[in-house]
Amino acid sequence: MRKKTNERIQHHLKLFSKRAESSFSPYFAKKVLNKIDDMEKKEKKMIDFHRSLKAVFRKIALVGALVLLILLSYNIKIGDNFSEEEAVFASEAVYKELNKLPLF
């Protein structure tokens, strides 16, 4: 019984493998693996690009924040009486509108 089952399984495996060989073009597996490799390379390039943009943005944001702090401290230091709207370079109308926003 067991021998017959093994023989049947072997027979079916041979049939399926012959069908698979005839249904796929030559070098099918190589083509698929090459496409997978290409996709991985593209994904790696995108990740590297994202990391480089992130690093550049951090540097620009840090420099911008430092420049802003320097300008604010300079304006506060040189002035006799600076109001809040003058310290952030906003006109009175803009300052009133900013105060109405729920963020402030």
Please tell me the predicted confidence (pLDDT) of residue 61. Answer: 94
CB 32 within 8 A of CB 24: no
Position 104 pLDDT exceeds 50: no
The CA distance from 57 to 36, in Å, is: 32
Please tell me the predicted confidence (pLDDT) of residue 62. Answer: 94
Q: pLDDT confidence of 2, banded at 50, 70, 90?
A: low
For tokens 């690009």, the residue is 49
pLDDT tens digits for range 72-90: 888 778 766 656 656 666 6
Whether the CA torsion 54, 59, 65, 71 is positive or negative: it is negative
pLDDT: which is higher, 84 or 11:
11
The pTM assigned to this predicted structure is 0.41
- How many structural domains does the chain have? 1
Range of the domain at 38: 2-100
